Amino acid sequence: MMNRTTAMAWLFVPAILLAAGSGTAPAGANEEETFEEDVIKTEQGDLKIAFIGHGTLMFTWQDKVIHVDPVSREADYTKLPKADLVLITHEHGDHLDPKALEVIRTPETKIVLTRICAEKVAGGLTMKNGDVRAVDGLKIEAVPAYNIVHKRPDGTPFHPKGNGNGYVVTFGKRRVYVAGDTENIPEMKNLKKIDIAFLPMNLPYTMTPEMAADAARMFGPKILYPYHYGQTDPNELVKVLADDKDIEVRIRKMR
């Protein structure tokens, strides 16, 4: 499989038992709230991925709506569907926004979060690194997400070990890894059979393109989306992984 990137998401690109395309805005959004969207074919129905912005995503699968790190500055959540499930990776304001949660939460919404996030959000399901739970019919694995190299002036890491989660969510047989804010940490070698991965690539808080490439090589996702990339050029990751033919890099606009 060749590395490739597409500037627009209107192109259908086949991958091993996976297919991506683009369409209209997610169900429930109006014309003013449109996002690039890929459709991944699974044995149990289409997985739709809406690329909302920064570290914010939305998955739709089997009539379930899963919001990842919903943040008000990235979208008008009054125009997006209510959440069946919300995943919050860590406590920073560009990932945890109680106001956005108020808009998309219903009495039935499940919210998976970290211990620190639970201090700000009541009624969530707390998971720590290494935990595995079945939530709303989905297998969710909480995995480490932290800094080793990038630190504040006082020497403390931007994301200390144990504070944040990445999540591996299994949709049917498709395993999707949302890394959260992290570097290319050794624990990534333990990730198995990842079909789709989202790796952050903004400085100084997460990874350089070279670090993201190293991370991807540890676990070999079939499809790799750089996200949360700020001012970093995601095409640099395509160049670094040009010889890694089994990893398909897809660039989507994270406005």
The pLDDT score that the predictor gives to residue 204 is 87
pLDDT at 25 over 60: no
pLDDT at 191 over 60: yes
Q: How many CB atoms lie within 10 A of CB 123?
A: 10
99-108, 144-153, 186-195: least confidently modelled range: 144-153
Mean pLDDT in the chain?
88
pLDDT at 93 over 90: no
Domain count, the chain: 1
As a whole number, mean pLDDT of residues 44-64 equals 95
Distance separating alpha carbons of residues 119 and 188, to the nearest angstrom: 28
The pLDDT score that the predictor gives to residue 82 is 97
As a whole number, mean pLDDT of residues 44-60 equals 95
Domain that holds residue 219: 14-23+35-249
Task: Calculate the CA 147 to chain-centre distance.
Answer: 17
Q: Output 34 or 61, whichever has higher pLDDT.
A: 61
Nearest CA to 11 out of 25, 26, 22 is that of 22
pLDDT at 51 over 90: yes
Distance separating alpha carbons of residues 104 and 96, to the nearest angstrom: 13
Distance separating alpha carbons of residues 243 and 210, to the nearest angstrom: 13
Residue 5 lies in a domain: no
Residue 2 lies in a domain: no
pLDDT at 62 over 70: yes
Residue 1 lies in a domain: no
110-113 sheet: strands from edge to edge: 36-42, 45-53, 56-61, 64-68, 85-87, 110-113, 125-126
39-43, 139-143, 148-152: least confidently modelled range: 148-152
Distance separating alpha carbons of residues 251 and 120, to the nearest angstrom: 33
pLDDT at 166 over 80: yes
Q: How many CB atoms lie within 10 A of CB 189?
A: 11
Residue 4 lies in a domain: no
pLDDT at 5 over 50: no
The pLDDT score that the predictor gives to residue 32 is 55
- Band of the pLDDT at 15, cuts 50, 70, 90? very low
pLDDT at 10 over 70: no
Residue 183 lies in a domain: yes
As a whole number, mean pLDDT of residues 188-193 equals 97
248-249 sheet: strands from edge to edge: 132-135, 138-145, 164-171, 174-178, 196-200, 223-227, 248-249
Per-residue model confidence as pLDDT tens digits over 197-236: 999 998 888 999 999 999 999 999 999 999 999 889 999 9
Q: Output 66 or 43, whichever has higher pLDDT.
A: 66
Residue 56 lies in a domain: yes
Residue 28 lies in a domain: no
The pLDDT score that the predictor gives to residue 196 is 98
CATH of the domain at 168: 3.60.15.10
The pLDDT score that the predictor gives to residue 156 is 86
pLDDT at 173 over 90: yes
- Band of the pLDDT at 16, cuts 50, 70, 90? very low
What is the share, in percent, of the chain residues with pLDDT greater than 90? Answer: 76
Residue 30 lies in a domain: no
